[in-house]
Amino acid sequence: MFGYIVHRLLIMIPTLLVISIVIFTIIQLPPGDYFSTYVAELQSQGEAVDLQKIAFLKAQYGFDKPVWEQYLYWVAGLLHGDMGYSFEYNLPVRDIVGDKLLLTFIVSFATVVFTYLVAFPIGIYSATHQYSWSDHTLTFLGFLGLATPNFLLALVLLYVANVYFGISIGGLMDPRYLDEPWSWGKLVSVLQHLWIPVVVIGLSGTAGMIRRLRANLLDELHKQYVVTARAKGLPPFRALMKYPLRMALNPFISDIGSLLPHIISGAAVVSVVMSLPTTGPMLLDALRSQDMYLAGSFLMFLAFLTVIGVFLSDLALAALDPRIRLRGGVTR
């Protein structure tokens, strides 16, 4: 086991290196750089541009240097924990990202809890009551959830919430709480606003999870050991929980790998539509305006989390499922 962990950890290094090259290349691919995008944006609003200031910044940040030199500079910074400097915000990247992470955590965590709370009971219920009237209804709702584009749902709910409940459009709290320290009123306001994004982001995930849980569980329920357990008089609930459900969970544990980056990045499209103060819109803006250190460092952070997440879920699977062996064919 120890050798396996070390091996996996070492493999992360070349993986991340390759990812960093890909990220940097892709960010550099569109013509121009941050400053030309910035100048174009100002000009499109009819504003004046101080080209001298821009020349100063370009020289400061090494835009006149070859690309590989810029890349090395960036990577060297990352190794020291310096994520670089955002031109858009005119601040070090760490100061910007840190601020948004908390709210992203809240939204994503609430979404995960919502998904699990809704999906598990429903999934189990429809598997155990296969082809019943209630199973068909829930299945129908599940497909509806899968098929609705969530940005559309977001727009509809925003409108309803504003016109009927008087909740401000977009954002995660009433505008007057934005700069306040945390208080009871602010918490209530956040909770009032939170349900829309949570439902919207969570809906398709919930629907998908219901379907998968149902299918996995159905596979197990017809196996002989379940029949045996029942025949031997194990109470039905215990006979369900003890083995079939545990078996059905494997895919969810391997999902943790992708869950981790999701929690950090938030659902970008929905966040943009609802103008949530999460990291998703920030990343999108950074990519659009070619704010390369902000975009690059943040993507790198996500890649790092993905790699870690996959690693953790593999370990968890190995620990939870005794059937999994570290090397195929060694024990037979």
Please list every residue from 147 through 176 that binds another protein, using CB under 8 A. Answer: 158, 162, 168-171, 175
For residue 40, state whether it binds another protein (rule: CB under 8 A): yes
For residue 52, state whether it binds another protein (rule: CB under 8 A): yes
CA distance 321 to 316: 8
CB of 184 to another protein, least distance (A): 20
Q: What angle do CA 56, 29, 99 make, to 5 degrees?
A: 65
Q: Alpha carbon of 284 to those of 32, 72, 195, 296: distances in Å?
A: 17, 24, 23, 11
- Which listed residue (2, 14, 29, 45) binds another protein by CB under 8 A? 45
CB 330 within 8 A of CB 71: no
For residue 291, state whether it binds another protein (rule: CB under 8 A): no
Determine the size of the site formed for another protein (CB under 8 A).
43
For residue 7, state whether it binds another protein (rule: CB under 8 A): no
CB of 64 to another protein, least distance (A): 12
CB of 170 to another protein, least distance (A): 5
For residue 1, state whether it binds another protein (rule: CB under 8 A): no
CA distance 188 to 75: 42
For residue 85, state whether it binds another protein (rule: CB under 8 A): yes
For residue 283, count CB atoms less than 10 angstroms from its CB and return exposed for 0-12, middle for 13-18, buried for 19 or more. Answer: buried
What string marks each residue from 15 to 34 as x (binds another protein by CB under 8 A) or -? ----------------xx--
For residue 78, state whether it binds another protein (rule: CB under 8 A): no
- Segment interacting with another protein (CB under 8 A) among 50-58, 227-235, 241-249, 322-330: 50-58
- Which listed residue (75, 82, 128, 254) binds another protein by CB under 8 A? 82
Beta-carbon contacts of residue 312 (< 8 Å; ≥ 6 apart): 256, 257, 260
Please list every residue from 171 through 200 that binds another protein, using CB under 8 A. Answer: 171, 175, 178-179
- Which listed residue (91, 102, 152, 188) binds another protein by CB under 8 A? 91
What string marks each residue from 251 to 280 as x (binds another protein by CB under 8 A) or -? ---------------------xxxx-x---
CB of 32 to another protein, least distance (A): 5
Q: Which residues bind another protein (CB under 8 A)?
A: 31-32, 36, 40, 44-48, 50, 52-53, 55-56, 59-60, 82, 85, 88-92, 94-96, 99, 158, 162, 168-171, 175, 178-179, 272-275, 277, 281, 285
